[in-house]
Chains A and B, each alone.
Chain A
Amino acid sequence: MNAPDLKLVVDNTPATTAAGVSRFHESARAQVAGAATYIDDIPEVRGTLHAAPVCSPVAHGVLRGIDASAALAVPGVHAFIGPDDIPGDQMLAAFAHDEPVFAQGTVQFLGQVGGLIVADDVMTARRAARLVKWDIEALEPVLTPQQAHAKQSYVLPPVHVTRGDAAAALQKAPHTLAGAFEVGGQEHFYLEGQIAYVLPLEQQQWWVWSSTQHPGEVQHWVSHALGLSNHAVTVECRRMGGGFGGKETQAGHLAVWAAIAANKLRRPVKLRLDRDDDFMVTGKRHPFAYSYRVGFDDRGRLCGLELDMLANCGFSADLSGPVADRAIFHADNAYFLEDVAIHSYRCKTNTQSHTAYRGFGGPQGVIVIERIMGDIARHLGIDALDVRLANLYGITERNVTHYQMTVEDNILEPLMTQLALTSGYRERAEQIAQWNASSPVIKRGISLTPVKFGISFTATLFNQAGALVHVYTDGSVQVNHGGTEMGQGLNTKVAAIVADELGVPFERVLSTASDTSKVPNASATAASSGTDLNGRAAQFAARQVRQNLAAFVAGLDGVGAGAVRFENGQVITEKTTRSWESVVGAAYANRIQLWSDGFYRTPKIHYDKVTMLGRPFYYFAYGAAVTEVAIDTLTGESRVLAVDILHDVGRSINPAIDIGQIEGGFVQGMGWLTTEQLVWNGKGYLQTHAPSTYKIPATGDIPAHFKVDLWPEPNREDNVHGSKAVGEPPFMLAISVFEALRDAVAQAGGRPEAMNAPATAEEVLNSLA
């Protein structure tokens, strides 16, 4: 165990820079004292009512009517809110415009919201909501992507990406393998459930508190549903109690529903979902089903690949298009696919509409090629690491992706080689094989898998950001940007960037709530891009203020503006050293602008949405993990014993936060592939709808050896402070857990090629039979 001898990480380093230091999370002190405010903690405005969703008890059917009379008879109940109460469009303002605000005509999944019950208190609303009667003529639900694919029932048209001639390459290949498998979805399980609190203001203006990764979209959706212009709606979010993609589009639904209720009743309305309802109503990570044929040579190097990917999208498109696209973009992971044909189907099923989740289709792309690597190695009887190394992208050749992007910053070979050395991968693999030979019941397995993850929104237009930096006359600084804080430490990093730019101590900079009236049209805080985009925008805003002050001071001292330095709370020229505060005060008195905006757009990126060719990513983030596991061949239970990670965050803006993202992402990925199983029964009812039945990793699941190292090289592209994005890439390091489990199954004489994810005890035992 590496951790116990770790000393407390103290962040009071008297550094000259704020960035690069492990600053504590800007809200940590408030969070540990219970003083950090989440939306349900905001003191309620007089007259606030509480809403509960009315959820469909049937997965698919013709909706003949909803009878709320029994609910309305309950004392304390104010209203049933349904389609008739929507002043604007009956459809949500989602990309595909295919989702009704409330179920109408057809019920599309079990849990679909048909309306709300609004009452004096939340429990009254919830109890009454269950008294509402649905009149539904049941239809046969489509519950699996295979069923949908057979019917050609899709939420969006299929996408095909090909290079070379995969069929011909397969024909010529010395070896071929074919396979099929399934990977389950994943519930976000943000600890703070979905919530929105809507206040009517004067003159048809609205204030919305939303736990959202995308305040701008909530603003857009609410104004669309209310039939108003965007400027009439302000959305604020100080922080979320976790997001992970689950509060990208899904938060919008709640805000729209609460706003419709507030509009009808002319009262503030809060809608906080009970955890079970949250599971039943909101979308999850897309489950995927795959089939493939792969050809390879004697070293295991790929010759050709044909891959079909069926994404279970649920009943509507939501973000399924870009999620399935990213799965295509990451089906190569670290490897050069010369002759390849990928067919991606966006299957429509009668389940929750699956949505963004950390990795956004990337994990579903990476896992399939990593699985293929493992199967090739076993087929050839060589170590899987050697197969992986043989297939890596080259530096000057074999370096163009199947979507025609040249991989310019490839560090995979040295990174994987170093990790293999420091983790003792090869020696341990040998020891494990020996150990297994004399262990009758317990078998171990080990795997090293890499990740290469493309950074940028694949929709190029989203790669823009704005920020405001305000310097007040006392020298204190406020920064506001279009990103949102969900625990990932964005505000801490941005404050450090601003502090550095102005040369003031970290503590002088305060980050404030995301607010659509401050920075407009912001993209979702997603795609790992929060710091890249908003950090740069804030840096530019601060730079503008600094330049104003530098010009002012240069004038006072008769030096060039470039000769003015801002360091340690001081403003220094060759002639004078002044305190930051005195310069700010003097500048104000001389009518110098002490605040500014900043704007950033990511350079170099472009791609054709139709052909899916181009450079969708500014750069790649890399990493690799070695995981050792053990399985119990009598029960199928497993344990993760040891994990070594080497991950690339460029030059870290905050190492503690980055390591936190890596460890947290890894453990979340481990949950996806082991214990987190979503089970829908034959009627489309999600049986695992609470933590009693849906098991995310707990304290006891953490490996006894869990070591994370950072790759020491800065980003080769010009990114803020030389850093790289870190939110999503580490999630895919957990694929090493799955591959190690399959290695253990193989060493136990089982059928690793039969194992689906998640590798529950039952799944492992089945693959041993």
Chain B
Amino acid sequence: MRADGGSGILAIRLSICCATPPGAMLSRMNAKKPGQTLRFLRRGEAVTVHDVAPDRTLLDLLREDLHLSATKEGCGEGDCGACTVVLGEAVDGRLTYKAINSCIRLAHSVDGMAVYTAEDIASPSGELHPAQEAMVRCHGSQCGFCTPGFVMSLFGLYQNTGGGQGITREQAQADLSGNLCRCTGYRPILDAAQQMGALPLPAGCTVDEAATVAALRELKKKKPAADTPYLRPTSLSDLLQARAAHPQAQVVAGTTDVGLWVTKMHKRFPQILDVTAARELQRVETYPHHIAIGAAVTLTDAFAALVKERPHLQTFSQRFAGLPVRNSGTLGGNVANGSPIGDSMPLLIALGASVVLMRWKKTKAGGEIAHRELRLEDLYTGYRTNVMRPDELLCWIKVPRPTGHALEKVYKISKRFDDDISAVCLAIQMTVKAGVVQQVSIGAGGVAATPARARQTEAALLGQAWNEDTVMAATAALRAEFQPISDMRASAAYRQTVQGNLLRRFWLESQGQQAINLESLKTLEALS
């Protein structure tokens, strides 16, 4: 999943082909830092791999270092799912399962976890796991190359639904949205998802949860040295101190974007600082007026927290990316990255979110955490640039809780419904009282160098009567406010037209018009 488009790749590729003096690149490539040891659990046994470079991907570790070839590389950018593996982690004494893209996940990030691949889930005597058996019986495998990835997404779904129970077609479509198949047309795979729960689970396929949790606990006891190429502090203060001590280290979370810098832009990172193990940042905290989402919270969990309070975000949360990307990537990473086409920011801007930046401040007593808070739209200064100091980390995202008065909508337009990057994203929060717009905030994506707040449009709405004339004026203001570019996703003209049309949709929806979007057709199936 590339958070940003191919145009960036183009610039880099051409400059390397034609311009970059070789020496500059070479000195970095030659700087050979010793790798470090990582350990993970496979089929209940601890696997130890020594001397793994900090920027080695999990897929390369599996295929090249461990010669485990079940997991395939389809695209190297987390968009096809052929490389899907499942990670098992102990959370509050229970095992949780997450399907992720191994091609853009850094190997060291799975240190201390259980890793399941397609060669791991059949019984030792060769009886297939129901996720596999259902794929065979439903004819869900043709060329077979995407199959191990689908099987692992199904395995994750199986484990997270108490043995594949109660899986609807919609859930199967949503959970498999990050896996592409070019042969089957998906119908048999969706059948397999729905039918695997009816198959017997061979005894040898059962995951011994208690034993796995215990083994993971043992694994975690072996901690890496403090100053290693791959830094993964387990507390917030350690994390901030590490940031202060290693300002040159590349900060990462789920690496759903940074992974591509490795696989596609061919960048090397001698040292990496991974924020995801800091336990304070792994939480979503609820306060009377806002929720605070830690920077280590995955997109899956962050959206679950948002959807809990705002059920209307359900579809948007699923469309944000394929499940393996949402399971790996973090909301904090998406926000800190600041891609102009990242989808969370328009929404968060419209909801009035703020970000908390933290750093380690030295004091006579040793040091303490210093922090500052700013509105999300004030974080960005230009294309992928922001106001953060070199020693600062984005640690929390604070999202105001719904008041019940405001109408909130978020619209995403992309070529493909699922697992695609927006051509345009527009999020609107508006409170109308006595027919007058009392409050409005609008976040826009895909229309400027940064995610942006549509202040001129808001000005055209605020204090005005909420009627057709105001909508017309605001539509004109919105179309004038941004000068989007033309690229492979859409033309500037289309982006401009659609932005205004989305405001129109918001107006129609505010007037109680139903069935004016394609999602509503799900309830109209009787006609067909």
Chain A contact residues, CB within 8 Å of chain B: 1, 3-4, 6, 8-10, 22, 24-25, 27-38, 40-41, 43, 55, 57, 69-71, 73-75, 121, 123, 126-127, 130-134, 188-193, 239-244, 274-276, 428, 431-432, 435, 439-442, 486-489, 628, 630, 632, 634-639, 641-642, 656-657, 659-660, 663-668, 675, 677, 679, 685, 687-693, 695-702, 704-706, 760-762, 765-766
Contacts and interface: CB of A to CB of B under 8 A. Distances in A.
Contact of A75 (B16, B30, B169, B322): B30
A636 B493 CA distance: 13
A351 B221 CA distance: 56
A660 B7 contact: no
Contact of A687 (B322, B488, B491, B497): B488
Given A74-B29, A637-B518, A663-B185, A689 B6 contact: yes
Contacts of B504: 634
Interface stretch (B91-99, B133-141, B156-164, B211-219): B133-141
A706 B187 contact: yes
A433 to B, nearest CB: 12
Contact of B515 (A6, A29, A439, A762): A439
A660 B508 CA distance: 42
21 contacts: A3-B169, A32-B118, A32-B135, A40-B69, A41-B69, A130-B13, A131-B20, A192-B145, A193-B73, A275-B75, A487-B143, A487-B183, A628-B528, A639-B521, A660-B142, A685-B10, A692-B79, A695-B414, A697-B185, A702-B185, A761-B490
B354 to A, nearest CB: 30
Given A127-B266, A630-B518, A191 B182 contact: yes
B516 interface: yes
A711 to B, nearest CB: 19
Contacts of B525: 641, 704-705
Contact of B528 (A75, A635, A642, A689): A642
B71 to A, nearest CB: 7
A37 B144 CA distance: 10
A705 B522 CA distance: 11
Contacts of A70: 22, 26
Contact of A696 (B67, B180, B489): B180
Nearest to A769: B497
Contact of A762 (B16, B70, B490): B490
Contact of B497 (A35, A188, A765): A765
B44 interface: no
A716 to B, nearest CB: 28
State the main secondary structure of chain A at its contact with B: loop
A47 B146 CA distance: 29
A701 B9 contact: no
Contacts of A240: 143
Interface stretch (B107-115, B326-334, B418-426, B432-440): B418-426
A57 B487 contact: no
Interface in B16-70: 16-18, 20, 22, 25-26, 29-30, 60, 63-64, 67, 69-70
6 shortest A-B CB distances, which residue pairs?
A: A34-B70, A487-B143, A241-B145, A70-B22, A31-B144, A34-B118
A190 B143 contact: yes
Contacts of A1: 169
Nearest to B134: A8
Contact of A693 (B5, B73, B181): B5
A24 B135 CA distance: 10
B413 interface: yes
Given A133-B18, A699-B179, A705-B528, A9 B518 contact: no
Contacts, number: 339
Nearest to B503: A634
Contacts of B172: 699
A691 B180 contact: yes
Contact of A667 (B22, B69, B185, B423): B185
Interface stretch (B190-198, B401-409, B448-456, B465-473): B190-198
Nearest to B198: A8
A275 B77 contact: yes
A605 B225 CA distance: 74
Nearest to B521: A630
Contacts of A127: 25, 29, 266
B148 interface: yes
Contact of A664 (B13, B69, B183, B194): B183
Given A25-B144, A41-B69, A191-B145, 6 more contacts: A32-B136, A34-B119, A74-B29, A127-B25, A688-B488, A695-B414
Given A241-B72, A692-B421, A698 B177 contact: yes
Given A31-B141, A666-B185, A760-B415, A679 B488 contact: yes
B494 interface: yes
Nearest to A31: B144
Contacts of A699: 172-173, 176-177, 179, 186, 189-190, 418
Contacts of A696: 180, 182
A487 B142 contact: yes
A637 B424 CA distance: 12
B415 A677 contact: yes
B375 interface: no
B117 to A, nearest CB: 7
A28 B128 CA distance: 11
A43 B68 CA distance: 10
Contacts of B177: 698-700
A126 B79 contact: no
B323 to A, nearest CB: 10
A77 to B, nearest CB: 10
Contact of A695 (B185, B266, B415): B415
A693 B183 contact: no
Contact of B186 (A22, A667, A765): A667
A695 B420 contact: yes
Nearest to A72: B22
B460 interface: no
B113 to A, nearest CB: 19
Contact of B142 (A133, A488, A634, A761): A488
A434 B410 CA distance: 30
B201 interface: no
A130 B498 CA distance: 39
A701 B417 contact: yes
Nearest to B78: A692
B416 A695 contact: yes
Nearest to A11: B137
B340 interface: no
A133 B20 CA distance: 9
B517 interface: yes
Contacts of A126: 266
B117 A34 contact: yes
Contacts of A32: 118, 128, 132-133, 135-136, 141, 147-148, 151
A421 to B, nearest CB: 16
| Residue with the greatest number of chain A CB neighbours at <10 A, chosen from B72, B174, B487, B490 | B72
A22 B26 CA distance: 57
Contact of A761 (B82, B139, B415): B415
B415 A441 contact: no
A130 B182 contact: no
A602 to B, nearest CB: 26
A240 to B, nearest CB: 6
Nearest to B174: A700
A695 B494 CA distance: 18
Given A32-B136, A660-B139, A632 B190 contact: no
B213 to A, nearest CB: 26
Nearest to B525: A704
Contacts of B119: 33-35
B505 interface: yes
A35 B119 CA distance: 7
Contact of A765 (B73, B188, B498): B498
A241 B80 CA distance: 13
A667 B181 CA distance: 10
A22 B137 CA distance: 10
Q: Which of B1, B29, B423 has the most CB of A within 10 A?
A: B29
